Structure 1
Amino acid sequence: MLRRTESTVQLLDRVRMHLETIYRDTPLQVTPEDLARELIQVMRLDEADCTPESHVNYWTQRDSIVITYGDTLLREDEKPLVTLKTFFDSHTEGMISGIHILPFYPWSSDDGFAVLDYSSVNEFLGDWGDIQAIASSYDLMADLVINHCSSRSLWFENFLRGQDPGKDYFFTASPDDDLRAVVRPRTSPLLREVETSEGTKHVWCTFSHDQVDLDFRNPDVLRQFVSIVRQYLDNGVRIFRLDAVAFLWKIPGTNCLNLDETHEVVRLMRTLVEHANPGSLLITETNIPNRENLSYFGNANEAHAIYNFSLPPLLVNTLITGNVRHFKTWLMSMPPAQNGTTYFNFIASHDGIGLRPAEGLLSDEELDLMVETMLHFGGHVSYRALEDGQNKPYEINISLFDALQGTTAGPDTWGIERFVCAHAIMLGLEGIPGIYIHSLVGTRNDYQRVQNTGAYRSINRHQWQYDELEALLNREDTTHAQVFSRIKELLSIRGRQAAFHPNATQFTLHLGDNICGFWRQSIDRRQSIFCITNVSAEMLPLSLCDINLIGTDEWVDLVSGTQFQSREEVLELQPYQTLWITNKADYAGT
């Protein structure tokens, strides 16, 4: 029975209103108020009496997250989750605040994103005790694979048999439905024909035929996922990545993307999570054009953070062309995140470099040139199906280190500098940085893994033997050690600067087509940092007059330690050099 305090009554009203919006066109067997009571009890919010504050930033400049699979690092006779924690405990020295462990559940395909059982840890990786151990030392980010699950899951087997749980869990449609407008990231048929105890049905498969889409019109599916969220919270998960959430709600005849009901489900999840554990965060993973992606902030009442999907293709384009014009235009168009929300910045991940988020920002000719360059650097291209039956490049599959080994003119000797430069730009931007573990250690394309799996994305999912990686990181002459050392140093510097708070002010600077520049100012306005990067392979002059340094302050470059004596100085920027020029070095704020 729900305790009736003032805060729980308010919560009940909020949850009920979310549900009325979600199910306004869907008949329910229970009233929205009764369903609201059930969800509140599942989340055990009836035991609490708290109302979370709004517009609170639960992050600082010291926050950064490493993205990794649970089995990226392997050591004989040791569970990979134990090995993973050992690596970060030994090597990151407090510079990493969080770890995003990609799906650590039992799975059947797509390296974890076809989930067999949401309530278990893949026994090869470890157990819930290992997850809790990581969560005790780091902010743990986990995937809520909410759009679909494995066709070999118990839920789907029960769907085929007409049994619970699962009987009505999956979205079905007719081949005669108007599905021409449906937006998809794959080229496989949308519908999969299956035989069930009730006859032939066609299940909806946005991604693959082993990943069957769940039907949130059935409130039992919602109940299941609220229960899963509660379990993850109990095991130490603080940050929830809502995987592929943009595809959640389907209405034949529409594009089935970013529908109003989908946004309301995100709002509901935020309400439940923030009441269960203020400080827990939702991050939406929506690999879609930029304007649509921004919509998941809502009015600071949906995602706490959104994946900044336009950043990877735009930054790669900038560095292979040596021209910052499109990147600068995009920066100027990005609205400052309200307090209580922020961007999740990344330039590499377990997936490829998405091209849809660059639509409208780069021309088709520029996208084609980037694809051609990445193919020349050993990458692959994955496609998606269009409404007219044609296929269009959807993402580039390549390790970031290989993607930045040269320019559109071909490979050159500036690969390491260009690669570190990309991270320096990202680390300076408004938002929380997410660094893929393979970028942290400079991993190259893994062609053998592609051959073994037959999946292009495997090119950037190398598995390291722990002792081999250790040996490489301990040798100063290796690329891996040089990259690791320099990115860690940038992270260390970043964490000490109040002007790098994820919500600190950001303005774009206009320094020509070959120099990327933006200004950050701390929330208390006491520290300024001018982030300036030469994005070309040529030496370039920079006059300090052009960045309007205040003459009464003393200015220093945080990266090199160089002090500037005069605003009239003209600097020679080395190829791919980054300056972080500040008036208050190592100022962490008040």
Structure 2
Amino acid sequence: MSAAPTELHAIAAEELAGEPEHRRDLFGLRLDRWWEDLHAGLTAVYPADAVPALERRLVRTAARAYRERDPELRRLDVQRTLDPAWFHDEHMLGYAAYAERFAGDLAGIKGRISYLSELGVTYLHLMPLLQPRDGDSDGGYAVADYRTVRPDLGTTEDLRGLAAELRRAGISLVVDLVLNHVAAEHEWAVKARNGDQKYRDYFYVYPDRIGPDAYEQTLPEVFPDFAPGSFSFDEQLGGWVWTTFNTWQWDVNWSNPDVFAEYADIILFLANLGVEVLRLDAIAFVWKRLGTNCQNQPEVHAITQALRAVARIACPAVLFKAEAIVAPQDLVHYLGQGAHHGKVSDIAYHNSLMVQVWSMLATRDVRLAAHALRAIPPVPASATWVTYVRCHDDIGWAIDAADAAAVGLSGFDHQRFLSDWYSGVYPGSPARGLVFQENPDTGDRRISGTAASLLGLEHALDTAQRTGRTEEIDLVVGRLYVAYAIAMGWGGIPVLWMGDELGLTNDVDWAGEPGHSDDNRWAHRPRMNWSLANQRRDPATLVGRIYASVRHLAQVRASLPHLESTVAAEVLEDPLTGRSDPGVLPVLRRHPLGPLLELFNVTEQWKPFPGARLAELGLVGGVDALSGATIHPGPDGNVWLHPYGVLWITSTS
């Protein structure tokens, strides 16, 4: 660690002149600790002659935020500095929801903290709640003001108060920060349209189609149905502006140092409201390079490193979570590889695990998943995954062609199968998903739907009503159980999507709300059904069965130190070797307390796992943490798992 330049310490001293000596000293120590990361990140992106002025500006901003930070948050900074692996803990359990659809507004969220605590939630992601543009706003991701809360949800002070209440209940607040674009109504865009050159330079603006046409040779379309192309002409601006997602979402120009400084200030503002985790939305898109798809460029990671360094200097309790839904080979870079090892986002979505869970459940076969998951490089011990079954977004089938080929599949054909299966058009599929953004040129089809609907709950209920047979319902409950058992057993921070704990199905009226009719993702964003939630403690109800199974998984997870995420999950073996049944996913965690072997049966059949493998691991006579049963191979030498059965086996020694 080398000390930051004297001039930066002088700027900090000027900003902190009224602070006690120990506070000034602490800021200086943090500045020295994170200076190298900040400097290296900035110099990898910006011209050398622009960096010193930007660093001075950032240190002044960080010192001001440090000075203004609430005493309770200052104490949290110290706690998190003393325990930097706090978010790796086995007690971590996330919950994600739209505030208005879960509880009406921020005040309503306060009234539901007890519900979250009952589930064991320690991490609450409230979907976009900052002021969006009027009308269609891409679910709130077209932000018009980063410093104002949506009026229908409350005020900025309400958000500060909610964050404090959650913190006292042991729940960290997670909020979205959209990095790639702003709404066309944002102050920066308005000033750009009004002729202010400073703010025009905040965006990519072209006087004709020469530049846009060159870029679009290699740019994919994110929303080909309702927002084709990546550039839009603005009459008042007098040019073509880059709009990756929608005409009213303007991509910001991160090659401009002023843009970096603006976002650093916004991060510190949100941190001082009590936000503990910032979900960096659309982070993969922030750097543009001609001749590429303008995703996952190296500068993305340098920018993240520098932003994280600024946050560490001012408010080290804050974590970054990368929303990078990208191919498996690109995914690990968001947690830090090479020069950025352990210096970028603290958390990233394990999109590959999510996709492979759905693939396993459709095929009743773990071979592709095992191969693909074994191929993902290890992540830094300081970072971890968010594991999940569903989220607010559609599911895109990020199946690597090489992984598919390795197990004898065509990647394209398998993606097509998954879209057919989960949209319910494949013969025998019980799923009730909706096709989202079909691209006839590429054959790409993504899928919308709640977890319960994709797993066939409506079909099962219809069958039970028609025939009186409930076996299909039992299978859906089993599929949901094994899916969440994988998410909770992998390590990291497992996150429940609102309503999955109750088995909520698709909102049949999703298209009826203003601005929703062109976006069927609203089908899997139903409003919370609190009358159903009130049945959650009744084991005689379907809701009670599902809720009890999810809560049980969370409680057992919290009791197992083996599941803290500094210990990596590894697929025990590739079932291609024939050493285990292709219907069972074996996951091993080698903890200092002893091994934890997790077995997941992804089929509706009884499936074996070789007792010899159990013996090799010293787990014969071990205990299944989920049931309390002692595990011994049967007369045939195998351990048998019931349909959609799960075993979490630990040693008793």
Q: TM-score normalised to the size of structure 2? A: 0.81
Q: Which runs of 4+ in 1 moved over 6 A?
A: 48-55, 408-411, 566-569
Cα displacement (A) at 1:223: 1.7
Unaligned runs of 5+ in 2: 1-9, 14-27, 68-73, 405-410, 425-430, 464-471, 574-579
1:78-477 aligned within 5 A: 80-93=105-118, 95-108=120-133, 109-135=137-163, 136=167, 137=169, 138-163=171-196, 166-173=199-206, 174-177=208-211, 178-179=214-215, 180-187=217-224, 188-196=228-236, 200-298=238-336, 299-356=341-398, 358=400, 360-362=402-404, 363-376=411-424, 377-383=431-437, 390-405=441-456, 412-413=472-473, 414-452=475-513, 453-454=516-517, 455-466=519-530, 468-477=531-540
The SS at the match of 1:251 is coil
Amino acid aligned to 1:219: P
Which position in structure 2 is the counterpart of 1:520? Answer: 589
Cα displacement (A) at 1:564: 3.1
Which position in structure 2 is the counterpart of 1:588? Answer: none
Which position in structure 2 is the counterpart of 1:544? Answer: 611
* Whole-angstrom distance in 2 between the partners of 1:368 and 1:564: 40
Which position in structure 2 is the counterpart of 1:533? Answer: 600
* Whole-angstrom distance in 2 between the partners of 1:64 and 1:116: 31
Change in 2 beyond 3 A, CA 1:547/1:246: same
- Which deviates further from its counterpart, 545-554 or 165-174? 545-554
Amino acid aligned to 1:348: R
* Whole-angstrom distance in 2 between the partners of 1:469 and 1:123: 29
Cα displacement (A) at 1:474: 4.7
The SS at the match of 2:415 is helix
Q: Say whether the 8 Å CA contact 1:92–1:488 is kept in structure 2.
A: no
| Pair 1:58 & 2:86 matched | yes
Cα displacement (A) at 1:121: 1.0
Cα displacement (A) at 1:384: 6.9
Q: TM-score normalised to the size of structure 1? A: 0.89
Change in 2 beyond 3 A, CA 1:123/1:474: farther
Amino acid aligned to 2:387: N
* Whole-angstrom distance in 1 between the partners of 2:324 and 2:618: 44
Q: Percent identity?
A: 22
Cα displacement (A) at 1:12: 4.6
Question: How many residues were matched structurally?
Answer: 569
More helix, by proportion: 2
Amino acid aligned to 2:146: Y
* Whole-angstrom distance in 2 between the partners of 1:394 and 1:372: 9
* Whole-angstrom distance in 1 between the partners of 2:596 and 2:273: 39
Unaligned runs of 5+ in 1: 586-590
CA-atom RMSD in angstroms: 3.0
Question: Please, which of 36, 39, 42 is the counterpart of residue 58 of structure 2?
Answer: 39
Amino acid aligned to 2:95: V
Map Cα deviations across residues 319-339 of structure 1 (whole Å, 9 max, x no partner): 111100011112211233222
Map Cα deviations across residues 263-312 of structure 1 (whole Å, 9 max, x no partner): 21111111112222224211111111110111222211111122111122
Change in 2 beyond 3 A, CA 1:433/1:551: closer
Amino acid aligned to 2:114: D
The SS at the match of 2:238 is strand
Cα displacement (A) at 1:143: 0.8
- Which deviates further from its counterpart, 420-429 or 391-400? 391-400
Cα displacement (A) at 1:560: 1.4
Amino acid aligned to 2:244: T
* Whole-angstrom distance in 2 between the partners of 1:54 and 1:343: 21
* Whole-angstrom distance in 2 between the partners of 1:10 and 1:533: 44
Q: Say whether the 8 Å CA contact 1:40–1:46 is kept in structure 2.
A: no
Q: Say whether the 8 Å CA contact 2:102–2:498 is kept in structure 1.
A: no
* Whole-angstrom distance in 1 between the partners of 2:218 and 2:112: 46
* Whole-angstrom distance in 2 between the partners of 1:66 and 1:36: 37
